[in-house]
Amino acid sequence: MAFDPKPKHKGQRLCFIAGILSDSPSESHVLGLHVFTGGKKQVKDYHGMFHHRYYVDWFSGLLDQLDAIGKTGVVIVLDNASYHKGLPDNTPKGSWAKDRLLQACNSYGIMATGDDRCYIDVGHKVKAHIKAHARPVIMAMAEARGHTLIELLWAYVKGRVGRQYTTSTTFADVRARLDSAFDSIPSEIIFKCIIDDISSYNVECDASCYTNALALLDQRMREENRMEKQMNCSEQVVV
């Protein structure tokens, strides 16, 4: 009786974080690439690693890299991931005691006293002020933040690695192929990920490996679902 071979690396994954510089069709690059190993039982799992403090440290290095290559006045576009929106550590929190929230009101010039009806009233005033005036840490480091089609680039990389997977693939093979995929991304592909509208986006890829690569968003999603079933040994993270 035949059985399908079981995945050898279930629970392991390769996670990556990177930015892309869209300058021109011939001068666009991947910046700040960090690839690390994660897994369900490992401390450096994605869920434990990609938090706000980690992201701020990585983002600081990205800005240093932009300085090193002489790029100034760069508009940095981010998606709405939670670790992009973290506020400074001293930002008042709803869990604070009423007296502490009243002190925050005094610091911010908010009209509130101990005579306010209840703790909830004071908390609402502080939250409203924070929503209107507090800036995320990343907003203080970058000039702009918003949605982008950057995920299409990560799908391109993921597709390159996934199409080479077989039951004999080792985890070391996955890492080597991931590194190779990043090293070989054409500048023009990176450029198009920023400027092209998704309805007309068409990935240009190596004919031997990617003639049927992702083009439209719905096609990308179908491909990701298929790959997740094939690649229990790896998982890439988008930022």
Note the pLDDT of residue 200: 41
CB-CB contact of 189 with 153 (8 Å): yes
Banded model confidence at residue 234, pLDDT cuts 50, 70, 90:
very low
How big is the CA angle at 123 (ends 120 and 127), to the nearest 5 degrees? 140
Model confidence at 217: pLDDT above 60: no
Q: What band does 215 get if pLDDT is binned at 50, 70 and 90? A: very low
- pLDDT mean over 3-25: 69
Task: Output the DSSP codes for the chain.
Answer: ---PPPPSSTTEEEEEEEEEE-S-TTS-EEEEEEEEEEETTSTT-HHHHSSHHHHHHHHHHHHHHHHHTT--SPPP-----GGGSPPPTTS--TTS-HHHHHHHHHHHT----TTSS-HHHHHHHHHHHHHHH---HHHHH-S-----STHHHHHHHHHHHHTT--TT--HHHHHHHHHHHHHT--HHHHHHHHHS-TTT------HHHHTT---SHHHHHHHHHHHHHH-TT------
pLDDT surpassing 70 at residue 17: yes
pLDDT of 149 over the 70 cut: no
The mean of the pLDDT values for the chain is 68
Say yes or no to pLDDT of 150 above 50.
Answer: no
Share of the chain above pLDDT 70, in %: 55
Q: In this predicted model, what pLDDT tens digit does every residue of 154-205 receive, in sequence order?
A: 667 777 887 887 878 888 888 888 888 888 877 777 776 655 543 443 344 3
pTM value is 0.51
Residue whose token pair is 């000039």: 143
In whole angstroms, how far apart are CA 111 and each of 62, 67, 126? 40, 43, 10
Angle between helix 98-108 and helix 119-133 axes, rounded to 10 deg: 40
Q: What is the pLDDT of residues 64-76, one digit of tens each?
A: 888 888 887 776 6
pLDDT tens by residue, 85-143: 788 887 887 777 777 878 888 787 777 665 655 556 677 777 777 777 777 777 766 64
Q: What's the whole-number mean pLDDT along residues 212-234? A: 51
Write out the two tokens for 150.
């950057």
Q: What is the model's pLDDT at position 207?
A: 37
